[in-house]
Chain A
């Protein structure tokens, strides 16, 4: 029997029960959709991250109290919580030790509840307020739009000066230049000295609702108790990066007065460590999506088996007729198997299309590059065939094994 005939027979009998075939298909579609959409989104994010989005500026590593994930929750949360804060004094000591070894050392502290007001206008609350020094821009991949950067003098004298992000400029100064104006941030007056160039958003979060003040002024206005300083260090070049990192760790241990037998009590971030941190999170999400989809697909497979068993029973007479006019058992087996595989594949293809669309939509929203996960799509098709064959085999076998006389007598 020709392949074309088998296909056309399968299509015909599936077409005869459109609703039933469609509903059975949906099960497969859901299973495939969930895995493909997650894989697409994760793949897109990872591609974007690996192909250039840098969390940090180039040749930069950073020391902080908490790890990338923030140290919230998890069994290590207590360990990070109990660490000593990195104090400003320690940070200054480190900066001093690294003089001549690193190109730049940026000390920074953050508060996330800032709100600026000027002349009766307000910004939205929850601005990021960074207390830092002149190195902030380079260390965090910002650049100055216009005006001037912070200077060492600003920091030494704890001047009330501020650099503002694009969002703040747009909100407070729709018609005039902000340079030299005095705005209030959480009630504290600050003179605007510079405006940051627009950076856009990353992972759905705007990077332009930020303002930067001297770190010393930050401690005065936002308090220095319970603050921990993050330290970003930039090496002179990519070649000296590893050497600078080694020296940086040594200097940090010295600044923290660690004894040789004590482990590092601070976290080290680098672009590499951020990438691998993301990769490990991505892997967990992948495994989760995979397991959930697998369960969904098994459930859908059982649905196919159920519907095929019903179909075989309903079509007993048809099977008898086919056998009486010369269909061999394997012809019947193939016909029913093809139907099961068809349902499964059709569901799978719809699932792949929707999954890629859904995943890429999410990726687009997160401003990542769009991808088509060929490997996963192919795997999806293979898995769907396997499900169709696996769960369709028993019903098809039952159909093929029917006795033609009994089947013909069936009403």
Chain B
């Protein structure tokens, strides 16, 4: 049951991983979280990664988000080999190329929406005036133009997640990585957030959704199932007639 509404044409490959593994040593035993995953993600895809807990989807998400490096295998992001990068280079990739959206929003509680959204730009070294303008634009884009000076505790759950999405968008990243973005929201608000992500997809963003809920995953155009550290299935919605695409 894949979403076949307006599928946008795929762009060039953004993420190219080949046979990556990850194992952790926990005391006496070694946990093999990923046992050899190969995956290619193109620009302007809307992909969901699904799997039960323990399937390795969190590990894969950390890997895709450049928070972690694989034990073996190759990971290229926009043609650059990530698996050989040091921590600082990974931080730069995260800053420039990846927008994170977390289940628990992960906003800085004492900072206003504007300051929260500005944060990636601060680390990118962008000047204050430009920064403020871009952050405000980003907040307006998610419908929070009137909440710039509110702190997270003055916002509803849905609004907080919108701030987080604005923060993810502000650096014009190559991918938006959303980890259970609706997990802490009621279903109505959850739908609103999914609608927002759909919009972003339609505007040309690449979205990777990590979830264990089929209801959420069905918004994506491609679903990758993981089980026991391996890709179990990888289904892409059929391209509808090319004609429809021409005028979208």
Contacts and interface: CB of A to CB of B under 8 A. Distances in A.
Contact of B125 (A2, A317, A323): A2
A404 B108 contact: no
Interface stretch (B45-53, B84-92, B140-148): B84-92
Interface stretch (B4-12, B74-82, B116-124, B207-215): B116-124
Contacts of B124: 326
Interface in A132-188: none
Contact of A324 (B100, B122, B125, B171): B100
A326 B120 contact: yes
Nearest to B120: A325
A1 B122 contact: yes
A64 interface: no
Nearest to B95: A326
Contacts of B122: 1-2, 5
Contact of B108 (A5, A321, A405): A321
B110 interface: yes
A326 B94 contact: yes
Interface string B29-69: 00000000000000000000000000000000010010110
B134 to A, nearest CB: 14
Given A1-B122, A2-B125, A405-B68, A325 B62 contact: no
Interface string A306-327: 0000000000011011111111
B67 A12 contact: no
Nearest to B118: A5
A398 to B, nearest CB: 15
A330 B68 CA distance: 18
Contacts of B102: 408
Contact of A327 (B65, B68, B91, B110): B91
A324 B67 contact: yes
Contacts of A331: 123
Interface in A100-149: none
A83 to B, nearest CB: 74
Contact of B123 (A12, A16, A325): A325
Interface in A1-38: 1-2, 4-5, 12-13, 16
B125 A1 contact: yes
A320 B107 CA distance: 11
A233 interface: no
A136 B150 CA distance: 82
Contacts of B107: 321
A243 interface: no
Nearest to B167: A325
A324 B110 contact: no
Chain A at the B interface: SS class: helix
Contacts of B95: 325-327
A12 B111 contact: yes
B110 A16 contact: yes
B91 A328 contact: yes
Nearest to A15: B110
B96 interface: yes
B197 to A, nearest CB: 18
Contacts of B91: 323, 326-329
Interface in A378-411: 404-405, 408
B106 interface: yes
Contact of A1 (B88, B92, B123): B123
Nearest to A2: B125
Nearest to A12: B110
B106 A326 contact: no
Interface in A321-360: 321-331
Nearest to B179: A408
Nearest to B177: A324
A5 B122 CA distance: 7
A322 B95 CA distance: 10
B123 A327 contact: yes
B110 A325 contact: no
B87 A328 contact: yes
Interface string B105-140: 011101100000001101111001000000000000
A325 B94 contact: yes
Nearest to A327: B123
Contacts of A404: 67
Nearest to B91: A328
B106 A408 contact: yes
Contacts of B108: 318, 321
Nearest to A331: B123
Contacts of B110: 12-13, 16
16 contacts: A1-B123, A321-B106, A324-B65, A324-B67, A325-B94, A325-B95, A325-B119, A326-B94, A326-B95, A327-B95, A328-B88, A328-B91, A329-B87, A330-B88, A405-B67, A408-B67
Interface of A: 1-2, 4-5, 12-13, 16, 317-318, 320-331, 404-405, 408
Given A13-B110, A323-B94, A325-B94, 13 more contacts: A1-B123, A1-B125, A317-B106, A321-B108, A322-B119, A323-B67, A326-B94, A326-B95, A326-B124, A328-B88, A329-B91, A408-B102, A408-B106
Q: Which 8 A-B pairs have the closest CB atoms?
A: A326-B95, A328-B91, A326-B123, A325-B120, A321-B106, A326-B94, A328-B88, A404-B67
